[in-house]
Chains A and B, each alone.
Chain A
């Protein structure tokens, strides 16, 4: 009997240590990647990054202005496309579909889309927009990014609206408000922190996406705001510059990566904080 007890205790202690080690490994890699990005990113920081355009291959100097502006335009257009559709689809699920068969099928398919590899969505945008139009365009890139962020918004909107108590809806209906007014004036407002969380998470997800942009927005060495043409953007610049032989390009890739990571982290932390306020309300 002693043997069995000792063996069980040993297994328990060893497994606990291994589990602790596993957790440390995950956190270690996070810190390592963050530290690298910080170290190389800070050393690549230069005021010219924000005021000048990307320098041609083999020349000195820094500059990412065209890529920053391009990325902001891409993200802005993706929000314009993705947020209304995602918000309305999530609203339909929570306020009209409930747990009907159709609504559950929509939720299931949305969950499958939630984990879609970004490269597939990029190919999709290529097939429906770039191929028929005959050239790469920022608009196609935005469509790809919007399709990537939509499922996140659909799901959070659905979940957050479901958390809103029915007494609120009943009170509004009793006052004679039609459905659309109940939803826009009462339930959306009650769930706005949660819905905003979904949008922030969606934005964080697409901020660093590179693969879909390789098939759609491509890159542009020059400053451009024409959404029907290729447009410079941060992720593709990181990809091209990191693999280039020029030192200043590599430094710029790190600086761009650092700014992207910081942006995504701020969005994620903001989203977590917002979500915290939602749970307190409940």
Chain B
């Protein structure tokens, strides 16, 4: 969509709306109805975003009034019996599991994207990128099921080796201690990484494909290797969109519910070890929402949802902004 294309299009939207001019009032009023319906639909599509925030804020009022903002964010006490609720363990859980997912998924996505756009022969390209995109089509609950029943038992056998290898290192060793259970923060991070991989890699692939041919061809002509073209030419050129794609993946990871709920272990305690169970905001919502009996309990759970929305909205806003910035420069729609 370049600027010239816009100018070339006729603005049929501003056709005469006055019925008296053409005399065919029936078709024009049908026209008017159609235009209005389209306008209302577009308004609804936009309003959904604001309505989400307003409705969820409204439903968390009771909890906001009871615990305040800082008090709720800082408190690690989550006890339905005493009706005290605090968000801290879940905020930490959400951030840590997503951080693990990003650390694992970003390099793999970059590798996949460069492989598909630069290295792979053309007959491999289609099937491989199709396969990676199908990974995105699998419902998250299937990831959860697979994670709990297939992946966790295998991971439980690998965990002692992880503890032995990394557990002895002073400092970060603390992160890798504890009994091998297969489920926990690290397992959730790994399943999340597999889930967000297709999102990040498909954006990266699209923008790498859109790097102007002359730019990379001249680099190859200068004698650059494939790696040098990818790292020094393509990556700097597409930087904003690549970061946008990463934010998009992060937004997915932060809000992912089912895959995490199955494998994170669901514990309200904060543990220093990544091998121990934890909980995220979405997982506690999925687990406890239907069991919540009091108004304050439900309201506190929705308050957790409000915190999640605040965070993911910022992340998603940045993602769309950054991806669009390259798009508007290069005419790529990603």
Contact = CB atoms under 8 A, between A and B. Distances in A.
Contacts, number: 293
10 contacts: A20-B111, A23-B112, A32-B146, A37-B145, A106-B45, A113-B49, A117-B257, A124-B51, A181-B27, A214-B289
B38 A92 contact: yes
A272 interface: yes
A109 B44 contact: no
Chain B binding site: helix, strand, loop or mixed by DSSP?
helix
A135 interface: no
Nearest to A172: B12
Interface residues of A, number: 99
Interface of B: 1, 6, 8-13, 15, 24, 27-28, 30-31, 33-35, 37-42, 44-46, 48-49, 51-52, 55-56, 58-59, 107-112, 114-116, 119-120, 128, 130-135, 137-146, 148-150, 194, 197-198, 201, 225-228, 230, 248, 251-252, 254-258, 262, 282, 285-286, 289-290, 302, 305, 308-309, 312-313, 316-317, 319-320, 324, 333
Contact of A84 (B41, B49, B59): B41
B305 A204 contact: no
A97 B11 CA distance: 9
Contacts of B56: 120, 123-124, 127
Contacts of B146: 32-33, 36-37
Interface of A: 8-9, 11-12, 15-16, 18-23, 25-27, 29-30, 32-33, 36-37, 40, 84-89, 91-93, 95-99, 105-106, 108-113, 115-121, 123-124, 126-128, 131, 147, 150-151, 154, 159, 162, 166, 169-170, 173, 178-184, 204, 207-211, 214-215, 218, 235, 238-239, 242-243, 250, 253-254, 257, 260-261, 264-265, 267-268, 272
Contacts of A180: 27, 30-31, 33-35
Contacts of A96: 12-13, 35, 38-39
B234 to A, nearest CB: 13
Contacts of A123: 52, 55-56, 59, 285, 302, 305
Contacts of B35: 96, 179-180
Given A11-B227, A84-B41, A25 B49 contact: no
A260 B42 contact: no
B140 A208 contact: yes
B142 A23 contact: no
Contact of B225 (A12, A32, A95, A183): A12
